[in-house]
Amino acid sequence: MTGEPVAMLHHISLGVADLARAGAFYDAALGALGYRRVFEHATAVGYGLHDNEDKLCLKLQPVPRAPGPGFHLAFAAHSREAVARFHGAGLATGGSDNGEPGLRPAYGPNYFAAFLIDPDGHHVEAVINDQVRM
């Protein structure tokens, strides 16, 4: 290997059937975690922290297919409250519950997460693995 290591993932793209509907869901759910739209195009929307540096890209597809069982995206949260806001915002904008906010002891003693299914069937999670005990 030459040079310094770089981030393992540059970005991930998800196919969506309705860009406006998917955008509303991700604006709300990811906004609750402090992420935002960093670019928009007629056929794509990108999310991240910095303009034109998307980490998640939604791409309009005629027949999108969510990946099968075992695949999901986990977004980092800065607090348990943000995890709960992610869940509530996602439900309010067309997502389906796939696991309420709470501790997941099977994943670790401080693993606090919530799970949603977006309007196109993609499984998403918000998680913080902190040292706070509730």
Task: Quickly count: other Cβ atoms within 10 Å of residue 112's Cβ.
Answer: 23
Query: Model confidence over 19-76: pLDDT tens digits?
Result: 999 999 999 999 999 999 999 999 999 999 999 999 999 999 999 999 998 999 999 9
Residue 133 has pLDDT above 60, yes or no: no
pLDDT band at 130 (very low <50, low <70, confident <90, very high): confident
80 neighbors 112 (Cβ within 8 angstroms):
yes
Please say whether the beta carbons of 34 and 89 come within 8 A. no
- The letter for the amino acid at 44 is A
Summarize pLDDT for 73-118 with one digit per residue, the tens.
999 999 999 999 999 999 999 999 999 999 999 999 999 999 999 9
Q: 94: which DSSP letter?
A: T
Q: Would you call 129 helix, strand, or coil by DSSP?
A: strand
**What is the CB neighbour count within 10 angstroms for residue 63?**
6
Question: How many angstroms separate the CA atoms of 124 and 134, rounded?
Answer: 24
Rounded Cα–Cα distance for residues 58 and 78 (Å): 23
132 pLDDT tier (thresholds 50, 70, 90): low
Give the rounded distance of the alpha carbon of 79 from its chain centre. 15
Please identify, in words, the CATH class of the domain defined by 12-129: alpha beta
**pTM for this entry:** 0.92
Domain range annotation of the chain: 12-129
